[in-house]
Structure 1
Amino acid sequence: MQLTTDHWQYLHNPPVATGILKQHAADFRVTEELGYTLTGEGEHIFVEIEKTNLNTAFVAEALARFCQLPLRQVTYAGRKDKYAVTRQWFGIHVPGKSDYPWQEFALEGAAVLQTKRHNKKLRTGQLKGNLFEITLREVSNPDAVISKLEQAAITGVPNYYGSQRFGIQRIQENGEINRGGNLVMAERMLNGEVIKNRNKRSMALSALRSWLFNEMLSERIEQKRLFTILPGDVINLTGSNSIFVADDDVAALSSRLARQDLSTTIPLWGKGETGSTGQANQLEMALAADYAPVKTFLAGQKLTMERRAAIIWPQQLECHQQGDTLIVRFFLPSGCFATTVLRECLNTTELA
């Protein structure tokens, strides 16, 4: 079974405009927003770091070495792009320890911006979201791209997992896609190969689960049901992890969806029930029917069935044009991909 990615549906017509993404690391900036105030006391030191051309796990390992702690005592809310300039928080569990000489932390491409104590552990997904500042160069039709971005802020875009999850990069200027290493590893696992490296195995599992989510999301778009709330649909309240099941009176919910208050969802496959009922469950079972080997494998990997919003709306959108260069800023909730928003607006060639 080959796990391909180039057939996923667009919400509207595929974009025609082209542009270059990540010509320089500073062309892709990400800043985490925790969404809560640190207490200033407690067993955990939160460290905000700006990193350039470094992956999150590598920085976490460097922090563990500097603090002389096991790696499990260094946590983060989520992985950030390697080929970028990103600001993110790391949590370090050090009960009883006063502090560290952070001015002595030396890692090329990384700098400590601030530190503060907190009384709770920094867990995966525990942040409000990310603010993106993206520079697109050699844009063929800036006005068309701006128009599509403005449309995305109003109507939303499919909440696909981005290419980073699959290890895919556009490595040639003609836009030809190189298949992602994480998906190749996932295929090998499906075929019975045992991947012993824990980190690689985790990345392959994540890629496989995300691929199935994208497949089912694409199918729902193709059926023109992304914005249609069915009785029994699992609904997500925008900007939160709260979900509930829609009853038979979907008119009020549909109005709230139009106001960006809530979204339909798609299963993140694992062990257990999808949570949907009735008509919505019938639709999801039909969408998932062709993926029996993937579903069975994921359910056997100690993954619990979860849900993910099917629609996202870029917030705080700003677009600034300088000739054929566009500087775009917007905010997305935790776990959402800026490249997913860009995908609806232009075809990018990634040079990083």
Structure 2
Amino acid sequence: MSDPASSSVSWPPNWHYVAGEPAAAGDYRRSPEDFQVEEVLDFVPEGHGEHWWLWLEKRGMTTPDLARLLARAVDIPVRDVGFSGLKDRDAVTRQWFSLALPGREPPPGWEAGLVERGVTCLQAVRHPRKLKRGVHRANRFRLIIGGETIALPATRERWDRLVQLGVPNYFGPQRFGPEGRNLHRARQLLVRGWRKRQDPHGLLLSTARSYLFNSVLSARVADGTWCVPQPGDVLNLEGTASRFAATEIDESLLARAEAGDLHPTGPLWGRGRLESLGEVAERETRIVARCPDLAEGLVQAGANHERRPLRLRLRDPEWQSAGDTVRLSFSLPRGAFATSVLRELFRHPTLV
């Protein structure tokens, strides 16, 4: 494996595409209804308990903003509001929230403030426990795309290839903020020395790790090894948190990777042992070392080394032509970005 040209912390990035940069431009998210996201849990609330679980639909609002609105509506501290994942602001999203209301019901008229902000309560049910972060299994996306890309057979060919091969698991542009501002803020903070009070939710730490991960993934997309196991890779079993280091790659592992049963992983940088081995580990270290402010800052901040799959599989993918638009639907595991799928299909200023 050889590395592309040396890089540094910069924006916009030059992360590689599976089939080269798309030739045609496209549109998406022209209205919130064009970008719909639905959270998928592996369980259902039990119907009793101290926590009141709400299945809510929102538009034009971040998940934390809705959590604060709910806290005010039922007069509880915002720390007693639970949710699993952060959903897009400029979209129609449906997700669960939990409110700690032991022994009491919400006050009369609690929904009024939500309705004024365009939030709809689709279901309310009790459950014994607070909803924890990161417990949802997946997100289901329903998207409408338009523009010149729709008329090109190459766009459908790119989609079919993604369905068959998978999608590079890049962190999406929303992680880095408009024009990469979160990335520049992260670098400045890490150079000074990370302090929790300046990054209470760890957003900037996550931004720095995401940039380094994308850099490693881009190098492997460039030489075609992002979905093909290499000696020394840490391999992730599809749909699970299980992973193992493979010192040798035999035909069985290659066949399982081709079938989408397992995926190479890349580093979420931090302190601790790098799980990959040999040339894979050396290459990851070389690429990350090009951004020493981020890499060393993450270690000093105490972020622990983790791994993330380099590839996504589209679950239940659908393509429906509808005049001058196309309707796409698919499911992705939590932590994956629909914008990483769209950037492989067409050009758009926000899809870096």
Task: Report the TM-score, using the length of structure 2 for normalisation.
Answer: 0.89
Would the aligned equivalents of 1:50 and 1:113 in 2 still touch at CA under 8 Å? yes
Answering whether residue 62 of structure 2 is matched by residue 55 of structure 1, we say yes
| 1:99 equivalent among 105, 112, 117 | 105
What corresponds to 1:295 in structure 2?
Answer: 295
What corresponds to 2:127 in structure 1?
Answer: 118
Q: How many Å apart are 1:349 and its aligned residue? A: 4.9
Would the aligned equivalents of 1:265 and 1:308 in 2 still touch at CA under 8 Å? yes
Change (3 A) 1:199 1:299: closer
| 1:151 equivalent among 150, 161, 164 | 161
Would the aligned equivalents of 1:11 and 1:158 in 2 still touch at CA under 8 Å? yes
Would the aligned equivalents of 2:84 and 2:96 in 1 still touch at CA under 8 Å? yes
Q: How many Å apart are 1:93 and its aligned residue? A: 3.3
Aligned pairs (5 A) from 1:1-352: 2-94=9-101, 96-100=102-106, 104-105=110-111, 106-107=113-114, 108-142=117-151, 143-168=153-178, 179-192=179-192, 198=198, 202-349=202-349
Deviations 1:168-190 (A, max 9, x none): 3xxxxxxxxxx132123113213
Deviations 1:1-60 (A, max 9, x none): 743243001111211121111111111100111122322233333211100011111001
Change (3 A) 1:163 1:89: same
Would the aligned equivalents of 2:83 and 2:133 in 1 still touch at CA under 8 Å? yes
Q: Secondary structure at the match of 2:140?
A: strand
Distance 1:210 1:295 in 2: 11
Name the amino acid aligned to 1:147: E
Q: How many Å apart are 1:276 and its aligned residue? A: 1.7
- Compare 220-229 and 148-157 and name the one that shifted more: 220-229
Distance 1:86 1:126 in 2: 17
Distance 1:3 1:195 in 2: 23
Change (3 A) 1:240 1:117: farther
Change (3 A) 1:196 1:308: closer
Change (3 A) 1:201 1:91: closer
What corresponds to 1:176 in structure 2?
Answer: none
- Compare 257-266 and 241-250 and name the one that shifted more: 241-250
Q: How many Å apart are 1:225 and its aligned residue? A: 1.9
- Compare 51-60 and 98-107 and name the one that shifted more: 98-107
Deviations 1:196-237 (A, max 9, x none): 865677322221111111111112222332123123311111
Q: How many Å apart are 1:147 and its aligned residue? A: 2.1
Counting aligned pairs with the same residue, the percent is 34
Deviations 1:304-323 (A, max 9, x none): 11111100021211112123
Q: Secondary structure at the match of 1:30?
A: strand
Would the aligned equivalents of 2:320 and 2:326 in 1 still touch at CA under 8 Å? yes
* Aligned-pair Cα RMSD in Å: 2.3
Change (3 A) 1:40 1:221: same
Q: Secondary structure at the match of 1:348?
A: coil
Q: How many Å apart are 1:249 and its aligned residue? A: 4.3
Task: Report the TM-score, using the length of structure 1 for normalisation.
Answer: 0.89
Q: How many Å apart are 1:158 and its aligned residue? A: 0.7
- Compare 5-14 and 220-229 and name the one that shifted more: 220-229
Distance 1:120 1:246 in 2: 39
Distance 2:26 2:40 in 1: 28
- Compare 206-215 and 283-292 and name the one that shifted more: 283-292
Q: Secondary structure at the match of 2:14?
A: coil
- Compare 12-21 and 245-254 and name the one that shifted more: 245-254
Would the aligned equivalents of 1:231 and 1:250 in 2 still touch at CA under 8 Å? no
Gaps (5+ residues) in structure 2?
Answer: 1-7
Change (3 A) 1:103 1:273: farther
Change (3 A) 1:219 1:102: farther
Would the aligned equivalents of 1:54 and 1:109 in 2 still touch at CA under 8 Å? no
Change (3 A) 1:253 1:185: same
Change (3 A) 1:350 1:183: closer
Change (3 A) 1:264 1:43: farther
